[in-house]
Amino acid sequence: MSNNRLFGAATLALALALTVSHASADEVTFKLPVSAHFGNATLQPGYYRMTLPTPITPINAIYLYGGGKVQATLPAIIDTQELSDRSYLELVNVGGTYFAKKFISGVTGTTYTFSIPKAARRQTVANTPVTMVAVTGGAAN
């Protein structure tokens, strides 16, 4: 990876600041510095609140609040992992377009994987840069 790409990735990672807030166990907050696609939802740069599915909800919809709108998306896969104190969003940059690949909630031991459109998946390769976006809230810490 060239120094410019590495510097750009490091700068972007630093720009992904946390929004500190206390939320219920199924809510997290984050700040996006770039537009990103979350399944069928597209988010513009800014602050967002994400409401996660609970064990009692019949549909595993994730709601994204921000920019004066509410958008919903369905994760393609919901899986379990080991508990940790680290939660984050994984964004992948495919040809200059960002896609949310995963939300990993360390505190709940849950990973939500989002769909990436087929055309973008074809461009995704093993060395596609991944950007981690820190989140805060009940499911995050």
Beta-carbon neighbour count of residue 30 at 10 Å? 26
- The string of pLDDT tens digits covering residues 12-53 is 443 343 222 334 558 899 999 899 999 888 999 999 999 998
Helix (H, G, I), strand (E, B) or coil at 14: helix
Phi, psi of 75 (to 5 degrees): -65, 145
Which of residues 106 and 9 earns the better pLDDT score? 106
User: Looking at the whole model, is its pTM more than 0.85?
Assistant: no
- The string of pLDDT tens digits covering residues 104-141 is 998 889 999 998 887 776 665 555 677 778 888 776 65
The torsion of the CA quartet 120, 134, 10, 116, rounded to 10 degrees, works out to 0
Sign of CA pseudo-dihedral 28, 55, 64, 8: positive
Over its C-alpha atoms, the chain yields an Rg (Å, rounded) of 15
Tokens 């093993």 found at: 126
